[in-house]
Structure 1
Amino acid sequence: MPEETTTTTGRYLVLLEDNSAAAGAREMNRVAGINAAGAVESVTPADLEASDGIIFQDLGVAVVNAAPDQVNRLARAVDEPGPISVVEPERIVRALATPVQGETGAAQVDESVFTWGLQAVGATLSSASGAGIRLAVLDTGFTVDHPDFAGRTVLTNSFIKGETVDDAHGHGTHCIGSAAGPREPASGGPGYGVAYEAEIYAGKVLSNAGFGDDGGILNGIAWAVANGCAVVSMSLGAAVKPGTPHSQIFEQAAQRALARNTLIIAAAGNESQRPAKVAPVGHPANCPSIMSVGAIDVDRATARFSCGTVDTVGQVDVAGPGVDVHSCWNGTTPDTRHKRIQGTSMATPHVAGIAALLAQQHNARGWELWARLMQSARRLGLPSTDVGAGLVQAP
């Protein structure tokens, strides 16, 4: 597990100009002696670690292993005419959820049939199910033998070296459950999945310890785009200080994904301590072309931990249920197969599930899907800096 003070990996991300993957590979070799291979879809974690560099062609982004002098030469190339546009250090990211500790309240709502989150977003009243929509959740993986998903096809891929997609953490399984789990769980309890008939793509980009890096996330995004996923849900991130610029590389990757009809939705972050402190939206949710999700509780109040819009860099776009959220877990016994946790991590898959319902109902993709999510959100009487357009609603 990385130390709390560690924020970067030692690798670098290189943004290439549009449609210049081949030219970018040649230029990186010319200026820095880096031999970067192209990847049409995704690569194994071992290949990513062992190579000089990998270019994710659909995203126009390379992840490179470079010595300091090579990094300096790449940086100088940014200021010259050519395909190399931006160079950034690769960051460490983590899962964004915590156990429920006192801030519950769901007991106020009858959850005997459906969770309060499903009720709040109107999913239980919608005729849409997400059928035919490919929804990717990039997280700590998935508990592949969970009884609630018996008979469901779940396509999986691990982007963590030395770890299978099986979720020894639990966070990813919980998020997949909220986004696309069942309405009638085989192992009992209330229905908890928004897009309960969506086609699930589970990408493991966070380790069993709950940590990952930018390269693994980009690898997962490239995989989701190549597989035609309409929605990518990312309940992960890294905290930033106020005024920190958003990643130009993730912004361009998100724009290129949108051009390929894939909407990326990400958690705003959990660093606030309301009302005393409101922390800024974290990386990569602070990118303008990644939909940023804040969290509310059962009383439709902003969750105390939910990050908010504090400057001109990042903003909260919409909100979802994120406190005392019941979903599936990676347990092996009936009483450990479900759990209640909280975080913008829990709000994000609710939004992703609603996106899948809208995609099915309106055949909407990309920017149109973004617009429909924003337009259909319910205003809450809260500052837009905290909840954006409001609480997402099912069609």
Structure 2
Amino acid sequence: MAKQNKNDAPDGSGANHASSSIDDLLLAALARGDESGDTGRYLITFKDGAGEDGLNSLRTQGLRVADARDFNDQAVAFDSLGDADTVLFPEIGVALVGGDAAQARSMGAAADIAADSPIESIDAERFVFAEALYNNYLRGTAQVQELDGFGPATAESPTGEYLRGFLRAAELIAKELGHAPNGGSQQELDLQEEIMVLGATWGLTACKVPSSVRSAAGIRIAVLDTGMDLGHPDFAGRPIVGATFVGQPVQDLHGHGTHCIGTACGPKAPAGATPRYGIGYRSSVYSGKVLSNSGSGSTASVLAGMNWAIANRCQVISMSLGGPGGPQPAYTAAGQAALNNGLLMIAAAGNPGAGAPAGAPANSPTIMSVASLDTNLAPSSYSPTGKIDIAAPGRDVFSAWPRPTRYKTISGTSMAAPHVAGCAALWAESAANLRGLALWRKLLATARRLPYPVVRVGAGLVQAP
């Protein structure tokens, strides 16, 4: 298909085509003064098993349809959609429709849907951000800006931050054994020596990763985020499959995606004195760039990544991103499609603070929602309340970062989700029947119970096999 001509109105009001870039959508929203979080496009979710009928119904309405199956490995390139009005994501039974095309056919969110229609719902598409940026978009507070490492730089080095978190974790473990932090008992000293010998981050130690014999060999982990530093030395020789859904190279110029991939898939023994920070060190890495280098995306870019990860049968799909609103039908359908194919979607619950609900897509019933824990294994102050399935280390998490920095310590539920994804991959390697819903149940059943409400920590702290 030929690329679309740039004929949008000067104010950006027409920048709501299926092929519009994230930047164009954001600029158009600003131009029209729209603070709703809507992009101006629409998502059509089809009834279970009605995807082909839905595709035909779109065509009968005169819509020009692009199909993800027309792209290699279903990696949709939005800037190559040409004059298509809509793009179908067949693995999840969802279609994106440009705003003008939808409204011309009365297909807005308020449209009446016939009982015999293959369509389940029509919803406004929304913007999606890396978790901290989403909270900045909503609130713009300095406290939130410091989460996930997007705030002002500090004089303290990443190594210093890691050590601070490590020492707090060591003190906690000692307290749990009934010793004072500075008690110096032989049992405490032996334990601290064991931790130092293992040389792992406090998060991996809390999840019992160093003692696990599993490596996630044969398991595909998809991380849908800002991409990855494909030349990071800690991943030299590792095959990495990348795809972009935001019109930018997979190469990560932001950092968030590299950090999350580092936790879920990083090496067992990084060079030099660098502590072990990665869990599934023999996993196959699938990096889906669904957020731009500015950390922004849309529901459609995330859905395109989900569709791609399912088409590639990635057993574990990790997402540290969020957007406004309650559970969204398209995300719920994607999560169900993953489970139907023996795959598991895991998402960060968001950083709105205690008392506020989890964001989308984590709030979907078919996607595992992950809360953040501090080094004392208490819920982090920024972690939400409500639909929480499990918890993991999220405060002061040391992991990979794009060169030349190489490593960074940051905080957020974004950092907790890849801990769960990595542990899920270890469990998936341990038994061929631990797939999809069975894997979900195993993670909950083996989690370490914590003395906090289920609405804050779910089943508890994720544990490796």
TM, length-normalised to structure 2: 0.77
Pairing 1:393–2:460 present: no
The code of the aligned residue for 1:121 comes to: C
Q: 2:89 aligns with which of 56, 60, 70?
A: 56
**Partner Cα separation in structure 2 for residue 384 and residue 25 of structure 1:** 41
Point out the more displaced range, 147-156 or 63-72.
63-72
Partner of 1:156: 242
Partner of 1:345: 414
**Partner Cα separation in structure 2 for residue 49 and residue 365 of structure 1:** 38
- 1:183 Cα deviation after fit: 1.8
Structural mapping, 1:274-353, within 5 Å: 274=354, 278-309=355-386, 315-332=387-404, 336-353=405-422
Question: Secondary structure of the residue that 1:203 maps to in structure 2?
Answer: strand
- 1:70 Cα deviation after fit: 3.3
Partner of 1:184: 269
The code of the aligned residue for 1:58 comes to: E
- 1:108 Cα deviation after fit: 2.3
Gaps of 5+ in 2: 1-22, 133-146, 155-160, 171-194
**Partner Cα separation in structure 2 for residue 126 and residue 69 of structure 1:** 54
Pairing 1:78–2:113 present: yes
Point out the more displaced range, 364-373 or 71-80.
71-80
**Partner Cα separation in structure 2 for residue 358 and residue 45 of structure 1:** 35
The code of the aligned residue for 2:343 comes to: T
**Partner Cα separation in structure 2 for residue 180 and residue 48 of structure 1:** 33
**Partner Cα separation in structure 1 for residue 389 and residue 103 of structure 2:** 40
Q: Give the paired residue count.
A: 377
The code of the aligned residue for 2:49 comes to: N
CA contact (8 A) 2:66 2:81 kept: no
Q: Which has the larger radius of gyration?
A: 2
**Partner Cα separation in structure 1 for residue 272 and residue 216 of structure 2:** 22
CA contact (8 A) 1:115 1:326 kept: yes
CA contact (8 A) 1:183 1:191 kept: yes
- 1:383 Cα deviation after fit: 0.8
Q: 2:124 aligns with which of 89, 102, 111?
A: 89
CA contact (8 A) 2:148 2:414 kept: no
**Distance 1:187-1:81 versus aligned 2 partners, 3 A rule:** farther
**Partner Cα separation in structure 2 for residue 343 and residue 193 of structure 1:** 17
- 1:190 Cα deviation after fit: 0.3
> Greater helix percent: which structure?
2
CA contact (8 A) 1:25 1:37 kept: no
Question: Secondary structure of the residue that 1:124 maps to in structure 2?
Answer: coil
Pairing 1:356–2:425 present: yes
Pairing 1:220–2:305 present: yes
**Distance 1:156-1:187 versus aligned 2 partners, 3 A rule:** farther
**Distance 1:129-1:249 versus aligned 2 partners, 3 A rule:** same
CA contact (8 A) 1:136 1:203 kept: yes
Partner of 2:436: 366
- CA deviation vs aligned residue, 1:252-289 (integer Å, no higher than 9, x gap): 121111101111000100011x5xxx210001110001
RMSD between superposed Cα atoms in Å:
2.1
> Greater strand percent: which structure?
1
Question: Secondary structure of the residue that 1:141 maps to in structure 2?
Answer: coil
Pairing 1:106–2:166 present: yes
CA contact (8 A) 2:64 2:83 kept: no
Partner of 1:312: none
CA contact (8 A) 2:94 2:330 kept: yes
Structural mapping, 1:13-32, within 5 Å: 13-31=43-61
CA contact (8 A) 1:183 1:190 kept: no
The code of the aligned residue for 1:172 comes to: G
Of structures 1 and 2, the one scoring higher in RCO (CA 8 A, sep 6+) is 1
Gaps of 5+ in 1: 310-314
